[in-house]
Amino acid sequence: MATQNIIQYLETSQYNALPSGGTVPVGIEAMNRRQIETFIASEAIAVGDTVALDFSKAGSGDKGIFVVKCDDNTATKKCAVGVAISAATAAGDTVDAVIAGMVDNAKVAGATAVGSSMAVSAATVGELALYVAGDTLPVFAIAATAHAGGTATVFVLKQF
């Protein structure tokens, strides 16, 4: 896991080198507030899935590097750490996950408004849902866009 962030990128636009010239906005990929970690998948994981540390692993070191789709109903899959931004087609593949900051295409269940608190869905594995008082897991992200369900842009709150 990363231990430090030294370089800050604070530009909001960049010069367009194409003949049209002008400037273009910088995407969230260059945002210095976004933190990405690489994990090893214990199962197939799709882009947008909320991932959790795999506590079913025997070794304590393995519990901190292997991830599964987060599942509020399974004790070994509750420790949500990020949203996958790359896919793992099988166990053993690496998967990148945003552990803090803005992420597009997070899988969400139901409609939310900008600023809605999101938690791991108790109904669908790997998805986020609107946080309600009494949820067993804490607020994991804040909705950055209004959406009707499917996928949305969210700001992931760092969990560790």
Question: Nearest 5°: CA angle at 81, between 29 and 150?
Answer: 65
* CA–CA separation, 49 and 126 (whole Å): 5
For residue 77, the 8-state DSSP code is G
Contact assessment for residue 155 and residue 142, using Cβ atoms and an 8 Å cutoff? yes
Per-residue pLDDT reduced to its tens digit, 84-111 = 999 999 999 999 999 999 999 999 998 8
Q: For the segment 38-70, what is each residue's pLDDT rounded down to a tens digit?
A: 999 999 999 999 999 999 999 889 999 999 999
Rounded to whole angstroms, how far apart are CA atoms 117 and 103? 15
pLDDT at res. 13:
64
Distance of CA 135 to the CA centre of its chain: 19
pLDDT at 33 over 80: no
**Residue 152 has what pLDDT?**
92
Spatial separation of the C-alpha atoms in residues 145 and 104, rounded to whole Å: 10
Would you state the structure tokens that stand for residue 153, as one six-digit string? Answer: 């842009």
pLDDT over 70 (residue 7): no
This prediction has a pTM of: 0.84
Closest by Cα among 38, 143, 47, 31 to 99:
38
Half-sphere exposure of 68 (CA within 13 A, CB side): 19
Of residues 45, 20, 60, 25, the one with CA closest to residue 126: 45
How many C-beta atoms surround the C-beta of residue 140 within 10 A?
24
Beta-bridge mates of residue 96: 38
Q: pLDDT tens digits for 117-157?
A: 999 988 899 999 999 888 888 999 999 999 887 899 999 99
Tell me the pLDDT band of 16, cut-offs 50, 70 and 90. Answer: low
Per-chain mean pLDDT for the chain: 86
**What is the predicted pLDDT for the residue at 25?**
66
